[in-house]
Amino acid sequence: MLPVLAMPLLIAGAQSVGIDLAYMLFFTVIYLMMVTALIFIFWIDYYLDIWIITSERIVDIEQKGLFNREISEFTLDKVQDITVEVPDLLATTLKYGNIIIQTAGERSFSIKQIPNLYEAKNLILDYSRRRENHERAQ
């Protein structure tokens, strides 16, 4: 936003020095396009990170950049530990945080900045217990 707010000052300065206004406008537009592209990439990375929780498994879809995606899944009977992190005062006030799930494998799965994190943790634990009880009954 700084170039947009400073544009009148830059125009006045460029005219007093004798720089052509077309060049300055061209470089400002290029700068704004690059900033917009970076904001779009960050938004895509955030928006397309998804966890799908079903009664049998959890699917973790991690978007890494524009064209790179990693999809992992694990069954709820493999859940060994769930850690809830509330990183700071703002997260405590707005009731969001991070959940880290440790599975029977060597990998841990994490989801960051989720709302209602205690409800999500309880949902995963309930499904995990139901799955475990169902397997014992068979």
Are 84 and 97 within 8 A, CB to CB?
Answer: yes
pLDDT band of residue 105 (cuts 50, 70, 90) is confident
Q: Predicted confidence band at 56 (pLDDT cuts at 50, 70, 90)?
A: confident
Q: Express each pLDDT in 64-91 by its tens digit.
A: 888 899 998 888 888 888 899 999 999 9
The residues pairing with 114 across neighbouring beta strands, listed in sequence order, are 97
Q: What is the pLDDT of residue 1?
A: 67
What's the confidence (pLDDT) of residue 3? 64
Q: How is the chain split into domains, by residue range?
A: 2-45, 74-137
Q: Please write the tens of the pLDDT for every residue from 19-50.
A: 777 777 788 788 889 999 999 999 998 888 88
For 80-113, the DSSP string reads EEEEEE--SHHHHHHTEEEEEEEESSS-EEEEEE
